[in-house]
């Protein structure tokens, strides 16, 4: 049975269990703002014990937390500006990604929107990561609050009734009256503690991810992603499948293509192509054609694991084994196709530039993915481009992807939570920072309100441009 089916069954069980639980506990659920909250006292003793025991350490970490809070706020404002620019001025990027600017990270989101540069995101990932990120975030608030002698009234979880009952959130309820009587720096330490905890989790998990990757995967093949090709002028094409053509247009050339591989002669040079490859191009005065090379002729699949029985674990090793042979010599190339190996008997060609043996495969740069999300994905990836990694045990890929998502989401939550907007910790944090600088509640409230409405307006602008991008 496919793992996705097991995961969906688990999601269904979770929905039923949560629905029954919330129905049975409905008398204990209170509505506050957009959330419905279920309040308990679970964890309060532990929070108070930690907060009161490590006084000196928590005082020091409080200052570190405030500094990190300011850095994250600056970072999220910068990223927010970049995202706005993309949605307003780069409609092609928005069309390619398809994800709306306001979209919760739901299970299967990469699969739904076909974000192939991201690992799959299963429900089981979502529930584990939600527990780790939310509990660490809220417990950190509670620990620093206990350290500052702010009473913790309750703990618990909440859910958004609009998405009943999937989208859960943890919380620690503080005595707000006592909180507001504390020094500005003490309040800021409590507010930034949650993001500080998320950053610590992200750093810790990133280290575990690096160690796990080195133990759980081994380079075991080379992945090529194109055959060698050339760009030729349509007007220079003189023959297609031995049929003479003269001054043919792109449409006429495409109509002459048959099923399978087609031979094309342009400027006296022979090329090959398929009709489907030609149809993917925009047309015009130039077309891209494959060079007449052994790899494309053999329809070689794109994961090479052996040459004449010798294991290939890098591009350098691939070149080394190829260069042991001569043009015209027959070699056996073993590829991985799904879960099976396949042998190809291929006669090497001759490279027209240097007379060396020639296979005719190419490597496009897969490492550098564009955009803000692309940069984060690149940073979190330990896999070298164009290398196939063999998992050392069955669950390697599953665990690796779980750790990868946990590191990414922990950092993302820390970043987003420091937006200087009313609904986030960053809103109150910003207000206190301005209050501390100006000593004026009036100025602090005005700036806080202005920024909140500004960010809301910018989100609306992004949503409008996201919608318009699909009509361009």
Tens of pLDDT, residue by residue over 53-108, are 999 999 999 999 999 999 999 999 998 998 898 888 887 777 777 777 777 778 88
Average pLDDT over residues 113-135: 89
Which of these, 18, 112, 113, lies nearest to 10 by C-alpha position? 18
Over range 415-424, report the average pLDDT: 91
Instruction: Give the chain's count of helices (H) and strands (E).
Output: 16, 20
Contacts of 78 (CB under 8 A, 6+ apart): none
Q: How many CB atoms lie within 10 A of CB 348?
A: 20
Q: Are 107 and 11 in contact (CB under 8 A)?
A: yes
The residue whose two tokens read 């009473």 is 151
Token pair recorded at residue 308: 């004449």
The pair of structure tokens assigned to 330 is 């027959």
- Percent of the chain scoring above 70 in pLDDT: 94
Continuous segment of H or E residues that includes residue 133 = helix 123-147
Q: Is 139 exposed, middle or buried (0-12, 13-18, 19+ CB in 10 A)?
A: buried
C-alpha 294/C-alpha 212 separation (Å) is 39
Q: Which of 200, 253, 262 is nearest to 406 (CA)?
A: 200
- Work out the angle between the directed axes of helices 123-147 and 184-216 (0-180°, nearest 10): 140
Query: Residue 56 has which token pair?
Result: 């000196």
Distance CA 457, CA 318 (A): 54
Segment 278-282 mean pLDDT: 84
CB atoms within 10 A of CB 183: 11
Q: Which of 119, 104, 106, 86 minimizes the C-alpha distance to 372?
A: 86
- Cα–Cα distance between 126 and 138 in angstroms, integer? 18
Tokens at residue 36, please?
């419905």
- Helix or strand or coil: residue 255? helix
CB atoms within 10 A of CB 130: 18
Give CA–CA dist 154/43, Å, rounded.
Answer: 9
Give CA–CA dist 278/115, Å, rounded.
25
Residue pLDDT, tens place only, 12-54: 898 888 888 878 887 888 877 767 788 888 899 999 999 999 9
Q: Please, which pLDDT band fits residue 171 given cuts at 50, 70 and 90?
A: confident
183, HSE (Cβ side, Cα atoms, 13 Å) = 5
d(CA 188, CA 67): 10
Q: What is the dihedral of CA 192, 196, 197, 202, to 10 degrees?
A: 140
CA atoms of 385 and 366, how far apart (whole Å): 6
**What's the CA gap between 39 and 19, in Å, rounded?**
16
Instruction: Tell the residue number behind the tokens 């009313």, with chain if given.
Output: 422
Half-sphere exposure of 415 (CA within 13 A, CB side): 15
Q: Give me the mean pLDDT over the 254-277 stretch.
A: 90
**Band of pLDDT at residue 129, cut at 50, 70 and 90:** very high
The 8-class DSSP code of residue 151 comes to: P
pLDDT(149) > 80? yes
Residue 333 has pLDDT above 90, yes or no: yes
Q: What is the pLDDT of residues 395-411, one digit of tens each?
A: 999 999 999 999 999 99
Q: How high does pLDDT run on average in the chain? A: 88
CA distance 187 to 193: 10
Q: Which of 99-113, 324-338, 339-353 has the lowest mean pLDDT?
A: 99-113
Residue 468: which pLDDT band, with cuts at 50, 70 and 90? confident
CA-CA-CA-CA dihedral for 434, 440, 443, 446, to nearest 10: 90
Which one, of 121, 144, 153, lies nearest residue 65 by Cα? 144
Predicted pLDDT at 380 = 67
Q: For residue 216, which of 389, 377, 93 has the smallest C-alpha distance? A: 389
Q: Using an 8 Å Cβ cutoff, are 327 and 355 in contact?
A: yes
pLDDT grade for 166, boundaries at 50, 70 and 90:
low
């Amino acid at each position: 049975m496919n793992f996705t089916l097991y995961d969906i069954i688990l999601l269904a069980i979770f929905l039923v269990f949560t629905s029954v639980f919330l129905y049975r506990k409905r008398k204990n659920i209170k509505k506050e703002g957009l959330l419905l909250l279920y309040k308990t006292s679970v964890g309060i003793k532990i929070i108070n014990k930690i907060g009161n025991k490590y006084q000196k350490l928590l005082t020091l970490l409080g200052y570190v937390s405030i500094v990190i809070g300011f850095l994250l706020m600056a970072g999220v404002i910068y990223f927010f500006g970049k995202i706005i620019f993309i949605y307003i001025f780069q409609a092609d990027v928005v069309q390619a990604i398809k994800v709306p600017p306001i979209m919760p990270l739901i299970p299967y989101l990469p699969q739904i929107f076909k974000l192939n540069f991201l690992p799959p995101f299963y429900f089981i990932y979502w529930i584990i990561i939600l527990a780790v990120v939310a509990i660490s975030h809220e417990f950190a608030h509670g620990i620093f609050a206990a350290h500052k002698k702010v009473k913790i009234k309750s703990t618990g979880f909440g859910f958004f009734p609009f998405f009943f009952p999937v989208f859960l959130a943890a919380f620690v309820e503080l005595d707000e009256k006592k909180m507001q009587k504390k020094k500005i720096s003490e309040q800021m330490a409590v507010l930034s503690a949650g993001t500080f905890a998320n950053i610590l989790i992200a750093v810790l998990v990133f280290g575990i991810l690096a160690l796990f990757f080195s133990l759980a995967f081994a380079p075991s093949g080379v992945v090529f992603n194109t055959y060698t090709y050339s760009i030729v002028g349509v007007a220079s094409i003189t023959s297609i499948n031995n049929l003479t053509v003269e001054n043919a247009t792109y449409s006429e050339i495409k109509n002459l293509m048959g099923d399978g591989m087609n031979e094309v002669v342009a400027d006296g040079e022979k090329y090959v192509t398929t009709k489907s490859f030609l149809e993917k191009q925009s047309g015009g005065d130039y077309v891209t054609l494959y060079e007449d090379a052994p790899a494309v002729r053999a329809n070689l699949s794109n994961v090479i694991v052996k040459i004449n029985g010798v294991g290939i674990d890098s591009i350098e090793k691939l070149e080394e084994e190829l260069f042991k042979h001569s043009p015209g010599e027959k070699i056996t190339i073993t590829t991985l196709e799904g879960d099976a190996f396949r042998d190809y008997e291929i006669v090497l060609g001759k490279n027209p530039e240097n007379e060396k043996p020639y296979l005719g495969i190419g490597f496009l740069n897969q490492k550098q993915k564009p955009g803000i999300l692309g940069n984060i994905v690149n940073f979190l990836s330990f896999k070298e481009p164009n290398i196939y990694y063999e998992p050392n045990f069955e669950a390697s890929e599953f665990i690796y992807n779980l750790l990868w998502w946990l590191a990414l989401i922990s950092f993302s939550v820390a970043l987003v939570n420091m937006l200087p907007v009313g609904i986030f910790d960053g809103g109150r944090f910003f207000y206190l920072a301005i209050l501390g600088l100006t000593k004026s509640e009036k100025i602090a409230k005005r700036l806080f309100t202005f920024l909140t409405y500004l960010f809301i307006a910018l989100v609306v602008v992004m949503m409008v441009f996201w919608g318009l991008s699909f009509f361009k």
